[in-house]
């Protein structure tokens, strides 16, 4: 099982990095695919609670969010979100087959496309940031470097926490939500994120202080994202959100951390690093 997890994770990482480096369009395509499968899994989990979100509305919403992020600035997204929220209200106003409640059905529909679609779209915003940097003998877009920095910092925390937790984890971190998470694992994940982020952040020209703060943000945000998804699965007595990724489960199981860290990293960069 561990070998399958490693191989599928490695292949997924290679494909992801290739798409990120290739350009903004391919990064947008990757984000759209993750968002579509992710929101589908989210709605599928909600069905176990007899909630009936509008899947078509969710799919359309994440598609429009991704396209709007690709073609427009991040400031324009607020107008789209307002339109999507109103559109969802109209859909449920005329929908006659409520299973439990219009409150629950509409609310879960909103939560799905905001949680998965909107938060993930910050990867596209990061990818669109102009500039270039040198990575050994290669010259790459700075936006690509920032997205790779986000993925490396977040995933290194996940891997470090998983391995250290399995080896020496004793103190439960949040047993009521995820019994397998430990304080020792969290510390090991933070150290792994710091090391990998420091190594790659130097190529981007990021000051050490910013790298350290971003590592803490990615570690804390990634852990919260993982706990949130664990809480969702625990609420419906499900081990995984899906089974599309061998050894990892569903799309949400693999990208739950990045969904949380993408906006947090951008907000920090926007406030304290980028001159936009």
- 131-174 tens-digit pLDDT: 999 999 999 999 999 999 999 999 999 999 999 999 998 899 88
pLDDT class for 1, splitting at 50, 70, 90?
low
**Dmax (CA) of the chain:** 61
C-alpha span between 98 and 269 (Å, rounded): 43
At 179 the pLDDT is: 85
Closest CA relative to residue 121, chosen from 36, 43, 28: 28
On the question of pLDDT at 247 being above 70, the answer is: no
At 243 the pLDDT is: 78
268 near 214, Cβ under 8 Å? Answer: yes
pTM to 2 decimal places: 0.95
On the question of pLDDT at 183 being above 60, the answer is: yes
Percent of the chain with pLDDT over 90: 80
At 240 the pLDDT is: 84
Q: Encoding tokens for residue 30?
A: 């990757």
pLDDT class for 2, splitting at 50, 70, 90?
low
**Which region holds residue 272: left if phi is over 0, alpha if psi is between -120 and 50, else beta?**
alpha
C-alpha span between 196 and 128 (Å, rounded): 23
C-alpha span between 200 and 203 (Å, rounded): 6
On the question of pLDDT at 113 being above 80, the answer is: yes
Residue 27 class from Cβ within 10 Å (0-12 exposed, 13-18 middle, 19+ buried)? buried
At 248 the pLDDT is: 66
C-alpha span between 31 and 33 (Å, rounded): 6
Crossing angle for the helix pair 2-22 and 24-47, to the nearest 10 degrees: 140
Round the average pLDDT of the chain to a whole number and report it. Answer: 92
């Amino acid at each position: 099982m561990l070998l399958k997890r490693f191989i599928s994770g490695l292949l997924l990482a290679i494909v992801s990095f290739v798409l990120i480096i290739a350009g903004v369009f391919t990064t947008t395509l990757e984000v759209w695919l993750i968002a579509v499968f992710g929101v589908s899994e989210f709605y599928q989990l909600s069905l176990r609670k007899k909630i009936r979100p509008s899947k078509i509305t969710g799919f359309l919403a994440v598609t429009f969010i991704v396209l709007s992020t690709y073609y427009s600035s991040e400031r324009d997204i607020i107008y789209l979100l307002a339109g999507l929220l109103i559109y969802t209200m109209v859909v449920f106003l005329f929908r006659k087959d409520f299973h439990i409640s219009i409150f629950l059905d509409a609310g879960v529909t909103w939560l799905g496309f905001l949680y998965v679609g909107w938060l993930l779209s910050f990867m596209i915003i990061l990818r669109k940031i102009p500039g270039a940097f040198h990575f050994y003998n290669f010259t790459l877009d700075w936006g690509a470097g920032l997205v790779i920095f986000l993925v490396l910092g977040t995933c290194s925390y996940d891997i470090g926490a998983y391995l250290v937790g399995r080896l020496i984890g004793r103190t439960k971190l949040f047993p009521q939500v995820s019994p397998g998470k430990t304080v020792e694992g969290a510390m090991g994940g933070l150290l792994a994120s710091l090391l990998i982020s420091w190594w790659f952040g130097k190529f981007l020209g990021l000051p050490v202080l910013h790298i350290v703060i971003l590592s803490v943000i990615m570690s804390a945000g990634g852990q919260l994202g993982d706990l949130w998804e664990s809480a969702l699965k625990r609420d419906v007595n499900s081990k995984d959100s899906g089974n599309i990724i061998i050894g990892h489960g569903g799309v949400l199981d693999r990208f739950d951390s990045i969904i949380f860290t993408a906006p947090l990293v951008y907000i920090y960069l926007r406030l304290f690093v980028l001159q936009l």
